[in-house]
């Protein structure tokens, strides 16, 4: 039978001072809710229901097609939030229900899976994922009886002095048997100082009714960390950033100085590749071995082969082959395919184009919507003029062509293999293989013109 996760995400997160729901605050470029969502999916949970509330439309749009959503119109506590999902849970054929806090993005799939094994093997109707932490302030405390058996969760606001000293806390994540959850939800009351329906009250109710509950202590105590303010969010970012960098280093990636280096957890990077300061590798990047990436390089959904150097490069949805030398100041825009041993130098932009091997585009050049052959040389300042104000057209440049400095190639146009264009040409017609095209007016020289016209004013020196 299937299991379902209910992610609580209705809170406003007042202390974030944001126009967006708190769970949309980002941890390494990904909203907190997506970290939680991905952990549940990775743990094999098939169905996900998200409880939205504050700015529900934003979350609903963000989750469209990925999760079922239910709205909580008033924020009356975590128990009340889960009640909003009760009909959905009742109507579906689920065995266990996993509750997760949308604002606790460090929960991981191993912790979720191990807790489920513990829950199932011991036949518990409820298994709370707990953690032992140094500073338990603000968290619900795990209370155990004199036998060490878990018997209640006491929230900070309701805790006495002794209870406040307990450093085993509720992560907010918990597994329930479906029917037990539906039953316990119907029993929760809001008779506390905050007049909220606390989900955590389910433990005491279950114990009082002799139902068996357990607390599974997470091996990874970071799994409970959450952020209420942007200062705490910065702390989480730093922690996750460092964790990923250490993983990569242990796999053979060199990061001699970690300043400003941010790598998304999904990145695959080959051994002996060096990542230099100020480099941000966002989601969906695959980088080969022996590369030098950075300094100050930003990659998104980009593939790089082996032995390539990218210095001050920005690339999105692009691919770069082996032994390329790119930069400084190169921008590769979506659908760019740079093959092997290509050089792109200062202030070169490439978009929606293929650049075949051994081609050199050294300075101040725009290559857009073009198919460039092998061994082509671009002089300084070449522009593929791909947009006529209405539509985009392509340029085709043959193998070993030589494009002179400051050539404009007015698309659609084709330059043949080994063909040359003279510097300063504006090329509008096809240039055949092995031809030279000159498209500029011939120079005229007017002897003595300056003496006759005296175009300058008085001498300045």
| CB closer to ligand UD1, 166 vs 405 | 166
Instruction: Tell me the CA distances in angstroms from 224 to 27, 274, 450, one per residue in order.
Output: 15, 33, 80
- Which H/E stretch holds residue 304? strand 303-304
- The one catalytic residue in 17, 119, 358, 363 is 363
Q: Which is nearer to ligand UD1, 34 or 155 (CB)?
A: 155
Of 104 and 401, CB closest to ligand UD1:
104
**CB-CB contact of 53 with 83 (8 Å):** no
The answer to whether 203 and 153 are in contact (CB under 8 A) is yes
Could you tell me how many residues make up the chain? 461
CB of 181 to ligand UD1, least distance (A): 14
11 binds, among ligand UD1, Ca ion, none (CB under 5 to 8 A by kind): ligand UD1
Choose among ligand UD1, Ca ion, none what residue 199 binds, the Cβ cut-off being 5 to 8 Å by kind.
Answer: ligand UD1
Instruction: For residue 91, report the phi and psi dihedrals to the nearest 5 degrees.
Output: -75, -10
Q: Which of ligand UD1, Ca ion, none lies near 181, with the C-beta cut-off 5 to 8 A by kind? A: none
CB of 43 to ligand UD1, least distance (A): 18
Task: Give me the residues that bind Ca ion (CB under 5 A), please.
Answer: 103, 226
Nearest-approach distance from CB 220 to ligand UD1, in angstroms: 15
Using CA atoms, how far residue 222 sits from 102, 132, 225, 226, 456, in Å, is 15, 10, 5, 9, 74
CA distances from 380 to 73, 158, 210, 403 (A): 61, 72, 81, 9
Contact 49, 68 (CB under 8 A): yes
Cα separation of 87 and 455, whole Å?
A: 87
Considering CB distances under 5 to 8 angstroms, the limit depending on partner class, which of Ca ion, ligand UD1, none binds residue 373? none
Q: Which residues bind ligand UD1 (CB under 6 A)?
A: 8-11, 23, 51, 53, 72, 75-78, 80-81, 101-104, 139-140, 153, 155, 169-172, 198-200, 226
For residue 153, the partner it binds in ligand UD1, Ca ion, none, with Cβ less than 5 to 8 A by kind, is: ligand UD1
Q: 226 or 270: whose CB is closer to Ca ion?
A: 226
Residue nearest to ligand UD1 (CB): 140
Our answer to whether residue 68 is catalytic in this structure is no
Minimum CB distance to Ca ion, residue 395 (Å): 55
Half-sphere exposure of residue 196: CA atoms within 13 angstroms, side-chain side: 18
The least CB distance from residue 201 to ligand UD1, in Å, is 8
**Contacts of residue 382, Cβ cutoff 8 Å, sequence gap at least 6:** 361, 365, 366, 367, 403, 405, 406, 407, 408, 409
Query: Which residues are known catalytic residues?
Result: 363
């Amino acid at each position: 039978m299937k299991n379902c996760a209910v992610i609580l995400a209705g809170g406003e997160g007042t202390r974030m001072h944001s126009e967006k729901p708190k769970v949309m605050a980002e941890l390494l470029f990904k909203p907190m809710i997506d970290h939680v969502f991905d952990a549940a999916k990775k743990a094999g949970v098939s169905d996900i229901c998200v409880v939205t509330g504050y700015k529900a439309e934003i979350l609903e749009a963000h989750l469209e097609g990925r999760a079922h959503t239910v709205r909580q119109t008033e924020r009356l506590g975590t128990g009340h939030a889960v009640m909003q999902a009760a009909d959905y849970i009742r109507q579906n054929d689920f065995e266990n229900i996993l509750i997760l806090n949308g604002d606790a993005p460090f929960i991981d799939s191993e912790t979720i899976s191990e807790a489920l094994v513990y829950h199932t093997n011991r036949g518990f109707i409820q298994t709370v994922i707990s953690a032992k932490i140094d500073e338990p302030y603000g968290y619900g405390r795990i209370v155990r009886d004199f036998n060490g058996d878990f018997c209640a969760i006491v929230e900070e606001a309701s805790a006495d002095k002794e209870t406040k000293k307990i450093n085993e806390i509720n992560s907010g994540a918990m597994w329930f048997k479906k029917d037990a959850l539906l039953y316990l939800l119907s029993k929760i009351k809001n008779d506390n100082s905050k007049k909220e329906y606390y989900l955590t009250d389910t433990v005491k109710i279950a114990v009082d009714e002799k139902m068996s509950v357990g607390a599974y202590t997470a091996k990874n105590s970071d799994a409970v960390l959450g952020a209420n303010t942007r200062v705490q969010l910065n702390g989480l970012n730093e922690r996750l950033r460092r964790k990923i960098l250490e993983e990569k280093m242990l796999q053979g990636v060199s990061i001699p100085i970690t300043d400003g280096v941010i790598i998304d957890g999904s990145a695959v990077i080959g051994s002996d590749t060096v990542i230099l300061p100020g480099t941000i590798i966002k989601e969906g990047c695959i980088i080969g071995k022996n590369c030098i990436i950075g300094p100050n390089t930003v990659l998104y959904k980009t593939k790089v082969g082996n032995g390539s150097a990218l210095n001050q490069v920005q690339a999105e949805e692009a691919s770069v082959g082996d032994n390329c030398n790119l930069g400084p100041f190169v921008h590769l825009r979506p659908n760019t395919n740079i093959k092997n041993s290509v050089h792109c130098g200062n202030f070169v932009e490439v978009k929606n184009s293929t650049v075949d091997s051994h081609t050199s585009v050294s300075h101040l050049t725009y290559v857009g919507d073009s198919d460039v052959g092998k061994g082509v040389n671009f002089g300084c300042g070449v522009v593929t003029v791909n947009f006529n104000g209405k539509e985009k057209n392509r340029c085709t440049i043959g193998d070993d062509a030589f494009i002179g400095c400051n050539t404009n190639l007015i698309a659609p146009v084709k330059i043949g293999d080994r063909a040359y264009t003279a510097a300063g040409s504006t090329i509008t017609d096809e240039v055949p293989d092995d031809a030279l095209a000159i498209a500029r007016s011939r120079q005229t020289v007017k002897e003595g013109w300056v003496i006759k016209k005296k175009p300058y004013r008085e001498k300045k020196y």
